[in-house]
Amino acid sequence: MFFDDDLLIYNKTGKALYEKVRKLPIVDYHCHLDQRKIAGDASFSDIGELWLAGDHYKWRAMRLSGVDEYYITGAASFHEKFLKYAEIVPNLIGNPLYYWTHLELSQIFGIDIPLNRDTAEKIYEAANEKLKNMSVQGMLNRFGVEFIGTTDDPVDDLADHKKYGNINVTPTFRPDKLFTFEEGYIRRLGEVAGLKIKTLDDLLSALEKRLDFFVTKGCRMADHGMDAFPESYATKDGAAKLFEKRGELSDSENEALRGFLLVWLQKEYAKRNITVQLHFAVTRNVNPASFALCGADSGFDVISETPSVKNVVGFLSQICDEERPNTVLYTLNDANLASMACISGAFRRVRMGAAWWFNDTVEGIRKNLRTIAEYSILGNNLGMLTDSRSFSSYCRFDFFRRILCDYVGNLVEKGEYDENAATMLVENICYYNAKRMVE
């Protein structure tokens, strides 16, 4: 049977555990959804817009299948783009997109047939009929989403971050643009903070003001995306001198200034009970011509080198345990995932995050769960997140819950884990651990 109720669950105990968690609410503590569409309760013209307006996972798969850019990010209609995507779906065996595509069809539209060239028009018409009576907030409520942490720059106004019925939409403080030390950005940061930034102390005051403002809007999370951790860290006096010569910094000076600010920010997060997520081992926009044509976040980012254990340890050791915020580590390169998981046991308030991005596959999630269980602690894991720009992507939580329940159920049936503890474990990982973090 195609995609039956027991999808990805291969043991009786796992199936019973899944029934305990399948309808738990969703805490999406890291995503890239547009809060303006939530505020406006936007609707969708068709399933093509819902799926293909901004989903770089699908865009990348279409490029891999030889689809012309005209049908990906080009001027083709969303109907045409949907048909082209439907044509390549049968190529996606084993790819998470194959699972997500059909879970979305089933859970959002009640469509339980495979998507391909022959079924595309029928599915397109049936899905669009359902979309006539569906909006963004309706879709979020359909999935049981109760918390959304969007990704926001310190200069953003946050006007649309608030509660919409049962859905709490909160900002996440992500200051990646700060580390360019570009003068226009520094000026804008000063303007929204209500001061002129001339010195390092001015910059720190502006960041404090913005952090406090984010907290008033419900901010519980911060986030940093980086290729790698710094190899050097300036003192405050050294950082003040480096900030004065911004625009003329060498690569090593820029890194030392960035190192100082990253450490300073961690301590400020801790003061405000903000959990920080550290995403690393990624190289952005590797195809210059395609980046120029399509822009950022269009599918041209790749897994970077194996993260340096020395540099991760060097960063965490800059902050004493008492001043460190709750910290979640995500490595895009999981070649030394065991080392990263081991690091989480050497510093208080550090834990491993979900299988991230390219690792968000059946085997990637299994590897993540197994490695964290063996080298760290699985019981305090925060579970799934979407990391997505698509409002239909919440089936990924179901995808994760199935794989988790299969993993735990298998250990129970082999006599290696207490059956009585299993329900609480999966419920905590699927919902309660993340809920406690954002409360």
The answer to whether 151 touches 31, Cβ cutoff 8 Å, is: yes
Q: Residues 330-376: pLDDT tens digits?
A: 999 999 999 999 999 999 999 999 999 999 999 999 999 999 999 99
d(CA 177, CA 250): 18
Please say which residue of 118, 133, 148 terminates a domain: 133
Please say which residue of 133, 157, 179 terminates a domain: 133
Let me know if residue 40 belongs to a domain: yes
d(CA 387, CA 418): 33
**Does one domain contain both 55 and 27?**
no
Let me know if residue 5 belongs to a domain: no
**What average pLDDT does range 181-203 have in this prediction?**
98
Conformation bin of residue 383: beta by default, left when phi > 0, alpha when psi is -120 to 50? left
Let me know if residue 211 belongs to a domain: yes
Q: The CATH number of the domain where 33 resides is what?
A: 3.20.20.140
Distances (CA, A) of 358 to 54, 56, 195, 244, 327: 17, 12, 41, 39, 21
Let me know if residue 330 belongs to a domain: yes
**Does one domain contain both 143 and 128?**
no
**What is the model's pLDDT at position 360?**
97
**Does one domain contain both 335 and 362?**
yes
**Does one domain contain both 94 and 181?**
no
**Does one domain contain both 40 and 163?**
yes
**What average pLDDT does range 229-240 have in this prediction?**
97
**Does one domain contain both 246 and 168?**
yes
Q: Residues 45-60: pLDDT tens digits?
A: 999 999 999 999 999 9
Q: The CATH number of the domain where 120 resides is what?
A: 1.10.2020.10
Residue 127: which pLDDT band, with cuts at 50, 70 and 90? very high
- Whether the predicted pLDDT of 244 surpasses 70: yes
Alpha helices in 300-394 (DSSP H): 309-316, 337-343, 362-375
Please give the angle made by the CA atoms of 235, 239 and 244, to the nearest 5 degrees: 155
Q: Is 150 helix (H, G, I), strand (E, B) or coil?
A: coil
The torsion angle over the Cα atoms of residues 140, 331, 252 and 295, rounded to 10 degrees, is -40
The pTM for the full model equals 0.97
Residue 2: which pLDDT band, with cuts at 50, 70 and 90? confident
How many domains would you assign to the chain?
2
**Does one domain contain both 199 and 224?**
yes
- Whether the predicted pLDDT of 197 surpasses 80: yes
Give the domain range for residue 56. Answer: 45-133
Give me the phi and psi of 388, to 5 degrees please: -125, 160
93 by Cβ neighbours in 10 Å (0-12 / 13-18 / 19+) ranks as exposed
Please say which residue of 96, 112, 133 terminates a domain: 133
Let me know if residue 6 belongs to a domain: no
**What average pLDDT does range 106-125 have in this prediction?**
97
**Does one domain contain both 127 and 241?**
no
> 45-54 burial, b for 16+ CB within 10 Å, e for fewer?
ebbbbbbbeb
**What is the model's pLDDT at position 142?**
96
**Does one domain contain both 32 and 160?**
yes
Residue 1: which pLDDT band, with cuts at 50, 70 and 90? low
